[in-house]
């Protein structure tokens, strides 16, 4: 069962899952995996694809959760909008309704959860971008070695 399926069935699992995903991008761990210095070029090139795939996969899983939570938040806002439209004693403009909705405890709670997951997603995006940059650096180093230009001055 995918992480997305687990969360859509039981939102109470979200904090535990977020902790697991947060632990996977611990700064020391990611920094050591991104490190090129001190590694053989062949080993660094070999591990590049697997680490990039590893983090891209987790980023995609988190992205699904972000999209789902965004939809849940929109549905919740729609429910409150309807309540303010149908059950409020006086006529409110759409902007006034939005202001009231923004202060609803339920909406604020869901917004906080959404933002926490979004932040984690952005951290994974940063790690994936770092691995892409690492890949470019490895390619450049490999090209230099192939052309036997190691001792050339730039």
The 10s digit of each residue's pLDDT in 107-142 is 999 999 999 999 999 999 999 999 999 999 999 988
User: Is 90 exceeded by the pLDDT of residue 94?
Assistant: no
User: Is 60 exceeded by the pLDDT of residue 153?
Assistant: no
Closest CA to 52 of 104, 106, 124: 124
DSSP 11: G
Q: What is the pLDDT of residues 27-44, one digit of tens each?
A: 999 999 999 999 999 999
Two structure tokens written together for 85: 């439209």
Residue 107 · residue 101 · CB < 8 Å:
yes
Q: What is the percentage of the chain residues whose pLDDT exceeds 70?
A: 95
* Helix or strand run (H / E) with residue 7: helix 3-9
Q: What pLDDT score was predicted for residue 32?
A: 92
**Based on C-alpha coordinates, what's the Rg of the chain?**
23
How far is Cα 135 from Cα 23, in angstroms, rounded to an integer? 23
Helices (H), 36-104: 41-86, 94-102
Q: Rounded to the nearest 5°, which phi and psi values hold at 33?
A: -75, -30
């Amino acid at each position: 069962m995918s992480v997305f399926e687990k969360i859509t069935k039981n939102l109470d699992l979200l904090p535990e899952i977020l902790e697991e995903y947060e632990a996977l991008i611990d700064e020391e761990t990611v920094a050591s995996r991104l490190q090129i210095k001190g590694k053989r070029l062949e080993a660094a090139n070999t591990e590049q694809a697997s680490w990039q795939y590893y983090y891209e996969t987790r980023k995609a899983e988190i992205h699904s959760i972000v999209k789902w939570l965004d939809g849940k938040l929109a549905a919740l806002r729609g429910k409150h909008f309807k309540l303010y439209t149908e059950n409020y004693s006086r006529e409110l403009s759409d902007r006034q309704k939005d202001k009231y909705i923004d202060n609803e405890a339920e909406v604020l709670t869901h917004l906080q959860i959404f933002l926490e997951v979004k932040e984690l997603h952005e951290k994974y995006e940063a790690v994936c971008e770092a691995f892409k940059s690492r890949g470019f650096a490895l390619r450049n180093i490999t090209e230099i070695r192939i052309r036997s230009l190691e001792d050339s001055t730039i």
